[in-house]
Amino acid sequence: MTSALSTVAEPEQRLPAIRGGIPPAPQRTAALIGYLHNNLEPIPGNFRRYALSAAAAPTDEQRGLLLDRRSEIDAGLKGADDITIRENVGILRSSMATAPLGPEAMQLAKQGFIMVLGQYPAWAVVETTMRFLSGRTGNGTYAPTAAEMANVCRELISGHLAERARINAILDAEVYHVASEADRAEINRAHAEFVAETTKRAAAPTGPAPEPLPERRDSKLAADLERRRARREAGKREGAPAPASALSEEDGET
C-alpha cells in the first residue's frame, strides 16, 4: 500500500452534491477505491468474485472507510416517498402541456408515476423535475412520462451504483498470499522427494523372485507323516511291501 493511502488524513472538504444528493467521496477514500479496484485480479471460472494479493489488501482502518462510504451511498439511494413524487409530477403536469385525462385516468397515472419513481431517491426525482422544467432534458413543451423521468433518474444514480459495485468487489475479494523463496524451495524439495519415492515404488524388481512360503501344517501331523514315509521307504529297501494299514492311513491323511 502506498504511503499516501496508508497515512491517516484530516477530514476533507467535500464538493456539493446535486440538491441534497449523495456527496462525492473524500479524496483519500476515492483514491483508495481506485487503487484497490485496479489491483483486483479475475478468478478463472468465477465471474462474481475477484482475487486480491495480501500485499495490496486493505487494512482494518481502510475497510472501515470503504464500509462507511458504502453505507453513505445506500442511505442516499433510498427510494423517494409518495408525497415527493406527487408534488414533482404535479409541478410538471401543471407547468407543461399534457393530454387531457379524466379524474379516474389522472388517478391511475399518478399511481403509475409512484410505482416507477418510487425505486429512485427523492433527490434524483427533484433533480429530474428541474431538468425537464428548465429544458435541459426533454422537448421543453410536453410533460414527461414516467418512463422518461425514470431514464433521467437512472443516469443520475448510475455513477453511485458503479462506485458501490467497486466497493463490493473489493470487500468480497478473495485475499491470497504469495509464497516466499523459502516456501517455494520447501515445496520443490517435497515435490522432488515425492516423485523419487513414487518412481522407486513403481519400478520393476531387479532381483530374483522371493521363494514361496512353505505350506503351514500341524507339527504333529507332519511328524506322523514323516514316520510313515520312513517305514515305507525302509520296507522298499528290505524288499517287503509296506503294511496295508500304513498305506491306507497315509492315503487317508493326504
- Residues 148 and 112: their CA atoms lie apart, in Å, by 13
**Pairing of the two strands 46-53 and 174-176:** parallel
pTM of the shown model:
0.63
Which secondary-structure segment (H or E) carries 236?
helix 219-238
Phi-psi bin for 12: left (phi > 0), alpha (psi -120 to 50), beta? Answer: beta
Q: Which residue has the cell 507339527?
A: 219
Q: Which pLDDT does position 13 carry in this prediction?
A: 44
- Residues 221 and 228: their CA atoms lie apart, in Å, by 11
- Residues 228 and 246: their CA atoms lie apart, in Å, by 7
**Segment-wise mean pLDDT, segments of 10 residues, the chain, 254 residues:** 44 51 92 94 86 90 95 94 92 88 85 94 94 90 93 96 96 85 81 84 70 60 80 76 52 50
Q: Which pLDDT does position 184 carry in this prediction?
A: 77
- Residues 94 and 224: their CA atoms lie apart, in Å, by 125
121: three-class secondary structure by DSSP: strand
Written in H, E and C, the secondary structure of 49-108 is EEEEECCCCCCHHHHHHHHHHHHHHHHHCCECCHHHHHHHHHHHHHHCECCCCCHHHHHH
- Residues 254 and 248: their CA atoms lie apart, in Å, by 10
